[in-house]
Structure 1
Amino acid sequence: MNKNTTNTREKILATAEQLIYQNGIHATGMDLLVKTSGVARKSIYRYFANKDEVAAAALNARDIRWMEWFRTECDKADTPQERILNIFTVLKGWFESEGYRGCAFINTAGEVGDSANPVRLIAKRHKQKLLDYTLELVGQLDIEPSLPLARKLLILVEGAITMSCVMGDYNAADDARDIAKLLLEQVSQ
């Protein structure tokens, strides 16, 4: 791909991601994508067969970028315990950021009924990556078995995200952090 092709495709995906995050998949039609991106419909169809392909590609790009950001921020803490607790500090910062509208993957998965739909599969893969990362952190604690604790921590993460978005309660991250701290104390005894 030449630079213009890459830039146009990236512009389409960035615009689609923004619109989907703000409005949802169903409210983001091709007309809105054309108007907001400034890319002609014909050009969009050169890269993507339909709106579903655009949405899936935009969500895949968000997954990669979001996970990279999240891991980088969480890994700034020194010890495994601190990195695990830092998850909730990072989440709270995200909750308080401008334009926060919850988890794009939870939101879009909720719009799609079919569990085999690509959007649902992308959301599932994203949550699996979160579980894998949490499991990686728990594995650094040198406890056995790691998976039950990692799953509990993921439930705290998802619960905090849901409470922050639905209830507007950004302190849910602090509450989840307190519970995570109790779990960590329990497994270190």
Structure 2
Amino acid sequence: MNETTGNETRDIILDVAEKLIYRNGIAATGMDLLVKTAGVSRKSIYRYFANKEDLVVAALKRRDERWMHWFSSEVDKAPTPAARLLNLFAVLKGWFASEGFRGCAFINTSGETGDPQDPVRQVAKMHKQKLLDYITRLCVDHGVEQPQVLARQVLILIDGAITLALVMGDHDAADQAQDVLKTLLAGQ
């Protein structure tokens, strides 16, 4: 008999929750679907998470860590600070074309919550702040005069490109956002 440890069970639950929430949204991801898809009992879920909200928050935090690691690792493969800034959008374009792309999980789940203090919204805010901090570091490395200003502009370009890629099916939105960044960098 193949028994899983507590951590493995928790990881399975989080993996399944993250995938279902990303694909279907929070509201459409009920506990029955989680139980069926994860192949665990409802009791197992509640052993690790007090309620659905705790599970959603944990799954989103996990996605943040994994996505930020993936994204920064890919962007940082470019050889120079200027190339890394432009590579933000090359990496995004690849993501847009990947199977199962459903936009930004943090924008999507934020849209399902009305309260800015909701824990889900707070995780989304934390994710966007981490992304902004990363972009700011790239701007500093490039020697931008006002790195915080440019970083906020780049974040808007990123989120705009993600939205167009999802809503319009326009994977070239990443190229267009990169062109806008080139213009901004030329004005530095």
TM-score using structure 2 length = 0.97
User: Are 2:166 and 1:153 equivalent residues in the alignment?
Assistant: no
What amino acid sits opposite 1:124 in the alignment? K
Q: Which residue of 2 aligns with 1:27?
A: 28
Give the paired residue count: 185
How big is the shift at 1:141? Answer: 1.7
Q: Which residue of 1 aligns with 2:93?
A: 92
How big is the shift at 1:120? Answer: 0.2
How big is the shift at 1:182? Answer: 1.0
4+ runs deviating over 3 angstroms: none
Q: Which residue of 2 aligns with 1:10?
A: 11
Give me the CA root mean square deviation. Answer: 0.8
Cα separation, 2, equivalents of 1:33 and 1:113: 24
Structure 2: tracts of 5 or more residues without a match: none
Q: Which residue of 2 aligns with 1:44?
A: 45
Q: Which residue of 2 aligns with 1:115?
A: 116
What amino acid sits opposite 1:29 in the alignment? G
How big is the shift at 1:14? Answer: 0.2
Q: Secondary structure at the match of 2:69?
A: helix
Cα separation, 2, equivalents of 1:42 and 1:153: 44
Q: Deviations over 1:33-71 (max 9, x none)?
A: 000000100111100111111100000000000000000
Structure 1: tracts of 5 or more residues without a match: none
Q: Deviations over 1:141-161 (max 9, x none)?
A: 223221111111111101000
User: Are 2:132 and 1:125 equivalent residues in the alignment?
Assistant: no
Q: Secondary structure at the match of 2:171?
A: coil
What amino acid sits opposite 2:66 in the alignment? R
Q: Which residue of 1 aligns with 2:105?
A: 104
TM-score using structure 1 length = 0.96
Cα separation, 2, equivalents of 1:171 and 1:143: 26
Q: Secondary structure at the match of 1:173?
A: helix
Cα separation, 2, equivalents of 1:63 and 1:176: 23
Cα separation, 2, equivalents of 1:80 and 1:182: 16
